[in-house]
Amino acid sequence: MLNLARKDSFANGIHPPEMKDETSHLAIRRFPFAPLLIVPLSQHLGKPASSVVRAGQEVSRGQVIAEADGFMSVAMHAPASGIVKKIALAPGIGGNMIESVYIEPHPASSQEVEGGEACDVESATADEIIAAIQSAGIVGLGGAAFPTHVKLKPPEGKTLDTLIINGVECEPYLTTDHRVMLEQTADIFNGIRYLLKATGAGESIIAIEANKSDAAKKLQDECPADLPVSIRVCPVKYPQGAEKMVIQSLLHREIPSGGLPADVGAICVNVATTAEIGRLLPRGHGIQERVITIGGPGIKRKGNYRIPIGTTVRFALDEAGAAKDIARVFLGGPMMGPSVSNLDIPITKGTSGITAFTQAQIDEATGHKHIYPCIHCARCVEACPLFLNPSQLGILAKNEEYDRMVGEFHLMDCFECGACSYVCPSHIPLVQYFRLSKKMVRKLSAAK
């Protein structure tokens, strides 16, 4: 029986407006092909894939265009049938340039994906499933883009007892996971079969926030009797969907500082990633598209779209009817999504949404905010789900005291949820300080 009144949650956190009503009821629609698709060879954490095509070559949709370069890497597949125009650098989200395959789709081709080597869940071994997930190019679709097959192999000496399927989707505006749970229910259960076999975990839990009760009910109603799955509904609270928080809420296990879910016997896989495993592996296909939410007040045709990887943000915004005076665009939602400075960057496997605002909307939401000095109100401390001290970290960041930030105040544990910035009455951009500080820490330690 599904219990919607459970109080499985974590301490602290915040309640920003959810802003999901405008797209949560809209079924997933297919997005048209852009005249040019840009497929970066590095869309995941780890080593870039290694290109196996050349300029001028014809490719068919779903064909492998780059192979994994080592274990910490995944394959890339052509998002459309067409011609490889060039292999060259293209801008990425952080302003960095990434080697990419530029494909011009054939407008009149069928765009059917040709069959590959299917992975049968009944007969495949755990290692074969892990290899098939790597070959399918599957990474965390929730935004982290961590290669999924790497997660499935726990470090030596660790065992996994519980598989958590993360359908929390706590980020405002985003409704892709919600729609995937409603529309790809069978794929999700199929994906769970693969994941349970690959990890050896004895049980799985699908975690959902209470604002998606229709999805929770559908999953509960259609859950196969032979699958060890339970559906757990958490109260709506940000950042409930963060891996550490969802494990704490459901299993009451705390991942140690600098540790991994495997340290507490758990593995957490995003629900859309699970659905893609369940959909692609039986067909032997790879990821060439993903579901994203295009929303925010600056968008006319808001919705959930199955969009080819490599579509530029500019094309996506034009097709979705973005207002001409769009001033701020986030890849993902406004809490954790990075703000985009160049609209010609491509949508990658880790892009869960595009959220767009005009300047007037930003001014209205922020009230033309100025940054004032810290008044030591401790609201940021009460908001931080990890019990960090954002106020102190903010002061140290301004003074560039990186050693103290890391050694005394655990900067590297911060997962940049932005809850502290959200509640700060002085409008101090704490999370931006922490992002920059972490970059500096990595740069300094690489230089050493």
**Binding residues for ligand SF4, per CB under 6 A?**
374-380, 383-384, 386, 388, 390-391, 394, 414-420, 423-426, 428, 430-431, 434
Helix pair angle (176-183, 185-199), 10° resolution: 100
Residue 265 or 429: which CB sits closer to ligand SF4?
429
Q: Measured from the CB atom, is 85 or 435 closer to ligand SF4?
A: 435
Which residue type does 323 have? A
Q: Smallest gap, in angstroms, from Cβ of residue 16 to ligand SF4?
A: 12
d(CA 448, CA 436): 18
* Nearest distance from C-beta of residue 142 to ligand SF4, angstroms: 17
CB of 437 to ligand SF4, least distance (A): 11
Output the smallest distance, CB 423 to ligand SF4, in A. 6
Smallest distance, ligand SF4 to C-beta of residue 381, A? 7
Distance CA(38)–CA(104), nearest Å, equals: 9
> Which residues have CB under 8 Å from 58's CB, separation 6+?
81, 82, 83, 84
Find, among 94, 251, 100, the residue nearest to 161 by Cα: 251
Q: Which is nearer to ligand SF4, 284 or 429 (CB)?
A: 429
Alpha carbon of residue 424 to chain centroid? 26
Residues 6+ apart with CB under 8 A from 93: 331, 338, 340, 345
Among residues 159 and 366, whose Cβ is nearest to ligand SF4?
A: 366
Of 130 and 335, CB closest to ligand SF4: 335
Q: How far is the CB of 330 from ligand SF4 (least distance, A)?
A: 16
Comparing CB distances to ligand SF4, the nearer of 215 and 388 is 388
CA-based radius of gyration for the chain: 21
Give me the long-range contacts of 90-98 (CB less than 8 A, separation at least 24). Answer: 90/38, 90/40, 90/345, 90/346, 91/342, 91/344, 91/345, 92/40, 92/42, 92/345, 93/331, 93/338, 93/340, 93/345, 94/338, 95/341, 95/342, 98/40, 98/41, 98/42, 98/48
**Least distance between ligand SF4 and beta carbon 7 (Å):** 21
Q: Which is nearer to ligand SF4, 169 or 416 (CB)?
A: 416
Contact 329, 355 (CB under 8 A): yes
